Amino acid sequence: MHVIEDYLALSSTDAGGIGEPAKIPTAAAVANAFYNATGARIRELPMKPAAVLAALEQSRGVRA
């Protein structure tokens, strides 16, 4: 007889929970990568194209 422990299906979503914590810092990592590449900060979510363009324009205006 073999006993196999089963920790899945302990929640209503049947999620194992392994990859879920990675969602939390993803937006900050993308925003910091954008800053490192362009020098412009994005401080709002979601990072829509209009927000990205506004951040780039503001960054250029400050440097000029």
- List pLDDT tens digits, range 32-62: 999 999 999 998 888 999 999 999 999 888 6
What six digits make up the tokens of 45?
A: 């979510």
Q: What is the pLDDT at residue 64? A: 44
CA angle 16, 19, 23 (to 5 degrees): 130
User: Does residue 18 carry a pLDDT above 70?
Assistant: no
Query: In degrees to the nearest 10, what's the CA dihedral of 34, 39, 41, 42?
Result: -40
Element at 58 (helix H, strand E): helix 49-63
**End-to-end CA, the chain:** 75
The arithmetic mean of pLDDT across residues 7-14, rounded, is: 62
Cβ–Cβ under 8 Å, residues 55 and 41 = yes
pTM beyond cutoff 0.75 = no
Q: What is the pLDDT at residue 57? A: 92
